[in-house]
Structure 1
Amino acid sequence: MKFYKSGDQSKPVIFLFPGTCCLYSSFDHVLEGLHVYFYTVVVSYDGFDPNENTQFHSMEEECEKIEQEIIDHYGGRIKAAYGCSLGGSFVSLLIQRKRIHMDHGIIGSSDMDEAGKVMATIQASIVTPIMYKMVHTGTLPKLMEKKIAQMDDSKKKFVNGFLDMFGLGGSWITKKSIYNQFYSDLVTKVQHNMDVPNTKIHVFYATKMGKKYEKRYYTYFKNPDIHRFNMQHEEMFCCHPDKWIEEVRNVVIGDVGL
């Protein structure tokens, strides 16, 4: 695991967590804007970093490494963390485990899916070969390419922005890392009615995902600060970076009138 740090170290620290099969570089398009307000630390998961030879094993093992980094370099406390999709599960787990502290945890339209071991095995076994082919060849399945070609420009922009987050062409990413990440996310449980003193949980809820996801947020978190956006999953992050930066700034340090 690597931690990519940048910005002014005197500013509040925000950790950034990529989504499933996504690289640390998926945050490149927002870093300059974030640096106005934050010192940024982008987490690069085991098995998904081009600069090391590692393998993703489990959510728990990754959490332990993240916690140790925060303890060793930030006194066990950070200002905020943003979790993109799968990254929202990491933010939730780090809050739940109470080994480090964050003032603000931001869940980025995460689906918060969970499954038993049998169903998780089935789902991971289906997804892994598809994702592995995509990341190694850098190309999409023909059916997906055909559907994208038929979309209007706004939908194409969203899909292309979403695909930019993935490690397409990542020859170092193994089937085992993909399987373990997908499986571990499903079987690692987030506690219900989570409420940690002095930690505020914010949710960037993409309403086009469906009402069932809003219900999940209220199930997992006792008093979530839900911000509703008429968008698809992570659309604001992918396609509207200035708006996303503004929203992150507002929930963490307030509207500073800029």
Structure 2
Amino acid sequence: MYTELAEDYRIICVGFDGHDKNDHNTFRHINDQILGIEKYIKEHYNGHLYGVYGSSLGGSVLGKLLERKNVQIDIAITGSTDFEQKANPWATLSAALITPLFYYLIKAKHPIKILRNFLDKMYGDSSKVLGVMYKGISYKSLYNVYYTDLVTPVADNIVLQNTKIYCTYGTKEDTKTLTRRYIQHFPKAELVALGGMHHEEFLVFNPDEWIDMIKHLLKREAYSYPNG
């Protein structure tokens, strides 16, 4: 998938704790991921990366990296990140309700149709998207992902002189809420709407088009999805 990008860029793939079937660590807190990535960038790349794409939760981590300003990222791209924030007890309640539903859908070979249809409205072909995002994840890790993401807010009005920020999202998502939050956190970000797409469907189902988009954005060129 990354062959075309690898011709022009050195590709680094970051995996979060507990997300891969071969990783038996437990995802404990989003801050652990942020600090670990920061440390790696400083130690291996002198604290400077040309471009970063953060998908979903990865966009939250990317937002915190931009907020903290401890590493330099020239081009930052978020993918379908909702930047949702909740204080307790609402964060605990939300995680307690969402985790069993998503975990069931990820693990079930033949999920109950009504639950599948409910999540399909948000994720399109939900089982495939969630399977890619959370393959091998444990229940505890999944709960911690949702909970710690909710209670770890990204600051408002992040404007960095030497960083270009793009926020990509599907037009079948809650576009009104997403675009409001993107501007709230990144007032000078360029928003990229992907026509007919649910949450990260573009990356999962249209990898060639996704690569074309990334190539354009890394060159700071305008991008418009043909189906948009």
TM-score interval, normalised by the smaller of the two chains: 0.7 to 0.9
Once the two structures are TM-superposed, the CA of residue 232 in structure 1 deviates from its matched residue by 2.2
Q: What's the counterpart of residue 55 of structure 1? A: 26
Question: Which amino acid in structure 2 is aligned with residue 180 of structure 1?
Answer: N
Please, which runs of 5 or more residues in structure 2 have no aligned partner?
A: 222-228
SS at match of 1:41: coil
Once the two structures are TM-superposed, the CA of residue 124 in structure 1 deviates from its matched residue by 0.5
Relative to the length of structure 1, the TM-score reads: 0.76
- Corresponding position: 1:184 with 2:148: yes
Moved more, 124-133 or 220-229: 124-133
Relative to the length of structure 2, the TM-score reads: 0.85
Q: What's the counterpart of residue 83 of structure 1? A: 54
Structure showing the higher strand proportion among its residues: 1
Question: Is residue 124–residue 198 contact of structure 2 (8 Å, CA) maintained in 1?
Answer: no
Once the two structures are TM-superposed, the CA of residue 167 in structure 1 deviates from its matched residue by 3.4
- Corresponding position: 1:211 with 2:186: no
Q: Distance in 1 between matches of 2:109 and 2:47?
A: 38
1:101–1:233: structure 2 CA closer, same or farther, 3 Å change rule?
same
Q: Distance in 1 between matches of 2:204 and 2:21?
A: 22
Once the two structures are TM-superposed, the CA of residue 229 in structure 1 deviates from its matched residue by 2.1
RMSD: 2.5
Q: How does 1:215-254 map to 2 (within 5 A)?
A: 215-230=180-195, 231-254=197-220
Alpha-carbon deviations, 1:114-169, whole Å to 9, x = none?
11121110011112222333444455344245x49x99xxxx9854652441334x
Please, which runs of 5 or more residues in structure 1 have no aligned partner?
A: 1-29
Once the two structures are TM-superposed, the CA of residue 93 in structure 1 deviates from its matched residue by 0.7
Question: Which amino acid in structure 2 is aligned with residue 69 of structure 1?
Answer: Y
Q: What's the counterpart of residue 162 of structure 1? A: 129
Q: How does 1:60-209 map to 2 (within 5 A)?
A: 60-145=31-116, 147=117, 158-159=125-126, 161-168=128-135, 170=136, 173-209=137-173
Q: Distance in 1 between matches of 2:24 and 2:131?
A: 22
Q: Distance in 2 between matches of 1:160 and 1:130?
A: 12
Question: Which amino acid in structure 2 is aligned with residue 49 of structure 1?
Answer: D
Alpha-carbon deviations, 1:15-70, whole Å to 9, x = none?
xxxxxxxxxxxxxxx32232233221111111223333311111111100011111
Question: Which amino acid in structure 1 is aligned with residue 177 of structure 2?
Answer: K
1:69–1:175: structure 2 CA closer, same or farther, 3 Å change rule?
same
SS at match of 2:178: helix
Q: Distance in 1 between matches of 2:60 and 2:200?
A: 14
